[in-house]
Amino acid sequence: MLNSLFITLEGIEGVGKTTAVETVASTMISIGKDVLITREPGGTSIGEQVREILLSRKNECITPTTELLLLLAARNQHLQEVVIPALELGKCVICDRYIDATFAYQGAGRKLGDALVSQANALIPDLAMPDLTILLDATPELGLKRVEMRGLSDRFEIESNTFFEDVRGCYLRRASEQPQRILLVDASRTLGEVTAEIKNHLMDKFL
């Protein structure tokens, strides 16, 4: 997949992933890349339907294992239908959340563990790994405050502080284990500072 790039954005709720997707996209377009923006769970018709099930507060009875299997069903569809074909065309695919979220939320948050999450992901044929993951990091207090200002919360956003501390801890551990792939960005700074760091990193790495 010559010239293709797969970039993912990760972090707990409200740290600014969706905002950063736009920064990554405009920077990569400015250096001549053909960009495709997508997200997980979602990115396909089936994936977006699964997203609705997962985020709806009506579905509080979903068990951790059901949650994991639904996410991976959506991921498989997303990879086969959208991500892999785009990478084969040499595009730069920018995805709002991907595999690190499953380790952080289901592995650590829901306590299913790394081993089960790895085994479940291994069921997906051609599981693409990101070339770069931008991990936006801030405390759950700060992230949830930003999200609350937006109104109604989804099924994940009503989780406890301990849940989000576990999720954050797993993300930070993965960043320290995989520094070549994961760029850790302090998202508690101003939007201007966060945007500048992301842009500079992309320019240094890909220009």
Residues that bind ligand T5A (CB under 6 A): 11, 13-19, 40-41, 71, 96-97, 101-102, 105-106, 146-147, 156, 187, 190-191, 194
Closest to ligand T5A by CB, 180 vs 190, is 190
Distance CA 197, CA 195 (A): 6
Q: Which is nearer to ligand T5A, 128 or 147 (CB)?
A: 147
CB of 2 to ligand T5A, least distance (A): 27
Other Cβ atoms within 10 Å of 160 Cβ, number: 10
> How many whole angstroms separate alpha carbon 74 and alpha carbon 106?
15
CB nearer ligand T5A, residue 89 or residue 196: 196
Nearer to ligand T5A, 17 or 168 (CB): 17
- The minimum distance between CB 182 and ligand T5A, in angstroms, equals 15
| Cβ-based nearer residue to ligand T5A, 33 or 78 | 78
Greatest alpha-carbon pair distance for the chain in Å reads 48
Taking the least distance from each CB to ligand T5A, the nearer of 19 and 34 is 19
At residue 184, the 3 state secondary structure works out as: strand
* Cβ at position 137, least distance to ligand T5A in Å: 11
To the nearest whole angstrom, how small is the minimum distance from the Cβ of residue 172 to ligand T5A? 16
Q: Which residue has the tokens 């997949």?
A: 1
Residues in the chain, overall count: 207
Closest listed residue to residue 49, CA positions, set 12, 13, 77: 77
Q: Cite the DSSP H helix spans in 31-160.
A: 45-55, 64-78, 84-88, 99-101, 114-121, 140-148
How far is the C-alpha of 121 from the C-alpha of 138, rounded, in Å? 27
Least distance from ligand T5A to the Cβ atom of residue 30, Å: 20
User: What's the closest the beta carbon of residue 39 comes to ligand T5A, in angstroms?
Assistant: 6
Cβ 139 vs Cβ 169: under 8 Å = no
